[in-house]
Amino acid sequence: FACRRVGALGTPEALALLTKHAAEATTDEQRLAYLRGLQEATKGKRTVPMPAGWDAAFLALSKSPDATVRDQALALAATFGDKTALFLLRKKLADERADTGERLSAITALVEARDAEVVPVLQSLLAHPQL
Phi and psi torsions of 21, nearest 5°: -70, -30
Query: Is a pLDDT exceeding 80 seen at residue 47?
Result: no
Residue of higher predicted confidence among 5 and 19: 19
Query: Is a pLDDT exceeding 80 seen at residue 46?
Result: no
- How many angstroms separate the CA atoms of 101 and 80, rounded? 22
- Enumerate the H helices of 1-131 as residue ranges: 2-9, 12-24, 28-42, 54-61, 67-79, 83-94, 100-112, 119-124
Report the percentage of the chain scoring pLDDT > 70: 100
CA nearest neighbour of 60 among 92, 17, 19: 19
